[in-house]
Amino acid sequence: MNTRNFNCGSAEIEQFLSSVRHVDDSIGNYEQHSILSDEFTYSIKLTNGSIRIYVEELLSEKVLPQERFIDIAARFRKRRSEELN
């Protein structure tokens, strides 16, 4: 599949986040997403922060090694108000 023509919906992103939460269960629930100007990265707003996921990761979820999910979870950024609590 050509990544330029790939458009992922909220259901696919939520499913992917479920896999990432196996590594870091502090990652919040999906709220919304947008495609960044590079066209190959999704910026995902969560209930407690945000995370970026590359299109090729979404396309390859079923074959990604566990180490890659660790790298993805490391991109999670807590919302400032969450850090103060």
Per-residue pLDDT of 62-76, as tens digits, reads 999 999 999 999 999
Which tops the pLDDT comparison, 68 or 1? 68
Q: Which of 80, 62, 13 is nearest to 41 (CA)?
A: 13
Query: What is the 3-class SS of 25-82, one letter each residue?
Result: CCCCCEEEEEECCCCCEEEEEECCEEEEEEHHHHHCHHHCCHHHHHHHHCCCEECHHH
24-42 per-position pLDDT tens digit: 999 999 999 999 887 789 9
Name the residue ranges covered by the structural domains of the chain.
3-78
